[in-house]
Amino acid sequence: MARQASRVPTAVSGLLPWHSEVWDLVSAQRAQDHVPHGLLLQGREGLGKRAFAEVLAASLLCEQPSADNAACGSCRSCHLFQAGAHPDFLLLEPEEAGKDIVISQVRDLNHFAVLTRGKSLRKVAVVAPAERLNRSAANALLKTLEEPPADTLLILVSHSPALLPATVRSRCQSLVFGTPAVPIAGAWLQAQVGKDAETLLRLASGSPLRALKLAEADAIDRRNKVLAQVKGLVSGHAEPTAVAEEWLRIGLGDAVACSHGLVTDLVRLKFAPEPPEMVNLDVAEDLGALSRRLESRLLFQLLDKCLDIRRAVERNLNLNAQLMLEELAMTWADPV
């Protein structure tokens, strides 16, 4: 079921630093009263698109927004929104992590769209992540997008817009969130974590919120442990079965992701004509030594092995994690 009071949304005041350009674009549309009936916020995961959607929803529902369209945070509408109880706001999300958004939930949204609004100038519904709409749900949503009520705005948030039907995408205005400039993202992340911001950003492919999650999960320490174990395997000082048991404690997905990142940098070091741009730049000396020791054949075998395991994990196959990690460890230990 869709929820009008599912949780307390993101704080209505303030934006993430790299959101300003998109916010200015929407503000210009609001100034001309040209806000579309459907918005598709798209970009890689970890850029705060959902936070942007909720800040935008709060400002659209606010009774006295500021000159820059920020919600005031103090009116009755803002208090209701912060409490997750605003009658003119609907958040549509999977009922369980990893599950789809189903047609019954979209029917709730369609009913919400035709209801008479309260004191706000419009009703706002956020669908996140929109790519989790199953086919029936997407088709049901399309009906509202094709004949939208004049006072209702649908905001779709997507990390993978290509997974949405073209008919849904074509009926929304796309707002693309690009990877923020390193100085902007780095300064924000440094204020959150206090150290290792540059390394964390590289590990997160430039996505600041993903980098923050990596910091909270001690991703650098985990990477360092995997690197030390890899060095032991390559040198013959570590036994593959014992290393696989250590990796199993880290977790199949995380251990293989670390291994994949290391192998990718090793391939760059082996074949780049100039010093390559590396993700694991902070351990470049260790990787350089490994690159000189490992044959190209082995590096590509490792790359294929990591990719195969990661695809299997993504497809939620019934996996024997211990066996897969043993095979990966034995590949690292392959003598050259």
Contact 154, 35 (CB under 8 A): no
> Mean pLDDT per segment of 10 residues, for the chain of length 336 residues?
42 74 93 92 96 95 92 93 95 92 96 89 95 96 91 96 96 96 96 95 96 97 98 96 97 96 96 86 96 94 96 82 96 80
pLDDT score for 12: 34
State the pLDDT at residue 34. Answer: 87
pLDDT at residue 334, rounded to an integer: 82
> DSSP for 156-220?
EEES-GGGS-HHHHHTSEEEE-PPPPHHHHHHHHHHHHSS-HHHHHHHTTT-HHHHHHHHHTTHH
How far apart are the C-alpha atoms of 10 and 14, rounded to whole Å?
A: 10
CB atoms inside a 10 Å sphere around CB 178: 12
Q: Would you say 294 and 266 are in contact if contact means Cβ atoms under 8 Å apart?
A: yes
